[in-house]
Amino acid sequence: MENLDKLVQLITDRLLENLQNEPEKESILLIGKDSTRLALEKAGYDLVDCNSDVVDLVVVDDLSLDAFLRVASLCPTSEKESALLKHLLNGKKAFVSKEAFNVENYKGSASSLLYRQLVQQKEKLEKYGVTFYQDENLLNCLSKTDNRQVVRETVTKRSETSGNTKTKLITEKRFKELGLTEGDVFHIEKGMIVTALAKDYAKRHKIILN
């Protein structure tokens, strides 16, 4: 039994260590193409839908020019437009493909006044928190965001903390060794994990866990 307890303790330590060192994935709301979805999933990002409130970044490469103009004017009319505006209002960064909102296409055809209006709408979106990217540079842009740096720092701090905190497994055998009887109190300290069998033992013998 003693060897079994040691084995359980070792397995628990390894599992907790792996969980503590596992990098957190950033959540991305993608309003875009299937090819972009595949690229982001392959890069390890967690993709969410428009109804999710847990969003770190927004990536857009599949909205019309009209849709962007409505967002710039704070007048969304569709679910996707509303989701983009909502997350911008919440301070999230949004990355928009230059191909999706390419005002330069109209430089030679639109009147100078109309073209200037388009440029102003683009600048307004940038002030809202939108970054325009070339399609081939999307992953590079995402890797440079502040959010990704925060994740790295969080993982590092968590790893440092885990190195200072030893997880201790409390088993039924341990309770028996301590000779606890009815009415005794066992204090569960930080880093302790009490097994289900140990909890059952404490309940049967009316040992108080706190």
pTM value? 0.60
User: Of 122, 138, 158, which one is at a domain's C-terminal end?
Assistant: 158
The answer to whether 172 and 197 are in contact (CB under 8 A) is yes
* pLDDT of 158 over the 50 cut: no
More confident residue, 82 or 208: 82
Whole-angstrom Cα distance, residue 182 to residue 5?
Answer: 24
Q: Are residues 56 and 153 in the same domain?
A: yes
Q: Are residues 84 and 136 in the same domain?
A: yes
146 and 169, same domain (yes or no): no
Q: How many separate domains does the chain show?
A: 2
Q: Verify that 141 and 38 share a domain, yes or no.
A: yes
Q: How far apart are CA 21 and CA 158, in angstroms?
A: 7
Decide if pLDDT at 162 tops 50: no
Domain final residue pick, 141, 158, 175: 158
pLDDT band (50, 70, 90) for residue 186: confident
Residues 6+ apart with CB under 8 A from 169: 5, 8, 9, 12, 192, 193, 195
Residue 207 or 125, more confident: 125
The tokens describing 168, both together, are 């201790």
Q: Residue 99: how many CB atoms within 10 A of its CB?
A: 13
What is the pLDDT, as a whole number, of residue 127? 95
Instruction: Please list, in sequence order, all residues whose beta carbon lies within 8 angstroms of the beta carbon of residue 160, skipping any fewer than 6 positions away.
Output: none
Does residue 195 sit in helix, strand or coil? coil
Q: Are residues 75 and 149 in the same domain?
A: yes
Dump the DSSP string for 9-49. HHHHHHHHHHHHHSPPPPEEEEES-HHHHHHHHHTT-EEE-
Query: 48 has which bridge partners?
Result: 29
DSSP three-state, residue 141: helix
**Domain hosting residue 129, numbered range:** 27-158
* Together in a domain, 189 and 129: no
Listed residues 158, 175, 192: the one ending a domain: 158
Task: Report whether pLDDT(36) > 60.
Answer: yes
Q: Tell whether 49 and 10 lie within a shared domain.
A: no
pLDDT at 100: 93
- Given a cut of 50, is residue 63 above it in pLDDT? yes
| Measured CA distances, 108 to 1, 11, 37, 83, 122 (Å) | 82, 67, 33, 33, 17
Do 36 and 79 share a structural domain? yes
Q: What is the DSSP letter of 204?
A: H
Instruction: Tell me, yes or no, whether 6 and 44 share the same domain.
Output: no
Distance in angstroms (rounded) separating the CA atoms of residues 17 and 137: 35
Q: Within this chain, do residues 108 and 172 fall inside the same structural domain, yes or no?
A: no
The model's pLDDT over 83-120, given as tens digits with 9 standing for 90+, comes to: 999 999 999 999 999 999 999 999 999 999 999 999 99
pLDDT given for residue 37 in this prediction: 94
Same domain, 127 and 151: yes
Same domain, 55 and 101: yes
